[in-house]
Structure 1
Amino acid sequence: MSTTSEVQWSELQRDPKSVAAIAEQHEVRVKRRDGADLLLVRADQHQDRHNGAATAARAIRSVFRHVGPDVVADALKDEFPWISVLPESDRAEFVQEFIQAINSSAELGQWSLLGTMAHEWANTAIVHANPEIYQTLSTPISVKDLDPGHPEENE
């Protein structure tokens, strides 16, 4: 179980050795008034977390590969209920991108990649859920659409 202590920025400035001693035991959240909080953690613990996340991502990828995209999509509906409005081909593509995003996020330690991918797919589901928006976005764009004053080439 991970414990986090909180200290103020001024305390870190005033007594860095004391804060470092706390960081030897567990992570320290440094509270700041003029910016986002900072997290102070030992480098070996950070590396252990990174390695653990990468291992978990590889294991998830392996499980997903064995059960197939349909089973994965059904399992992910609990977390992402909007998957059900995606066409079957898009569901398979979502699963593939989800697996890739987990692996990339774990390897890079940048979990925002996974969040961005899920957000983009949720927006795709919104389009599929609204026939009017889907029709508008699925219709090819012509030169006339871009410049109503421009004559069509084949007229």
Structure 2
Amino acid sequence: MSITSEVQWSELARDPKSVAAIADQHEVRVKRRDGADLMLVRADHHAYRHSGAVTAARAMRSLFRHAGPDAVADALLDEFPWISVLPKSDRTLFVQEFVQAIQVSAELGQWSVLAQTMHEWANTAIVHADPELARALSTPITVTDGRIVPNPMDE
């Protein structure tokens, strides 16, 4: 667990050397009244954390590959119980995209990639949890003249 100190923006402006000394020891949250808080962290500590995330993501990818998508989906049920409403084929696809999103997020240092993947799959589970909605969204769409709109995934 990392230690984080908090300072006000005015303290950083008034005494930057003192705040830098704190940042030499651990992260500093710079509180602002007119915007989101900022995090001040030494670049070498950030790089060390980033390399640790990449290492963990690569290890997870290897574990998932050896365990297989079914075992991984079963293991992830503890944290994400909504996986249980996904059809088996979607569970496999979820596991593949989950592992890939972890890898991409770690490599880029942008965890929003994983967050977006989880958001999209949770919404997919919501659709599957409602049989009427799933049926409505999986039937062909017809236009007013009776023609069926082609599935864009078939092109």
> Structure 2-normalised TM-score?
0.92
1:1-40 to structure 2, matched below 5 A, reads 1-40=1-40
Segments of 4+ moved more than 3 angstroms = 151-154
CA distance in 2, matches of 1:104, 1:39: 23
Say whether residues 1:54 and 2:48 are aligned partners: no
CA distance in 1, matches of 2:63, 2:90: 20
SS of the residue corresponding to residue 146 of structure 2 reads: coil
SS of the residue corresponding to residue 30 of structure 1 reads: strand
- Point out where structure 2 has 5 or more consecutive residues left out of the alignment: 149-155
Which structure has the larger Rg over C-alpha atoms? 1
- Count residues in correspondence: 148
Aligned residue number for residue 147 of structure 1:
none
1:90-109 to structure 2, matched below 5 A, reads 90-109=90-109
Following superposition, the deviation at residue 139 of structure 1 comes to: 1.2
Aligned residue number for residue 69 of structure 1:
69
CA distance in 1, matches of 2:26, 2:92: 41
Following superposition, the deviation at residue 143 of structure 1 comes to: 1.9
Note closer, same or farther for the CA distance 1:128–1:34 as it changes in structure 2 (3 Å cut).
same
Say whether residues 1:139 and 2:133 are aligned partners: no
Using the aligned pairs only, state the percent identity.
76
Following superposition, the deviation at residue 152 of structure 1 comes to: 3.5
> Alpha-carbon deviations, 1:103-141, whole Å to 9, x = none?
000001111111111111111111111111011101111
> Structure 1-normalised TM-score?
0.92
- Give the residue type in structure 1 aligned to 2:6: E
The RMSD of aligned alpha carbons is: 1.2
Aligned residue number for residue 42 of structure 1:
42
Following superposition, the deviation at residue 153 of structure 1 comes to: 5.7
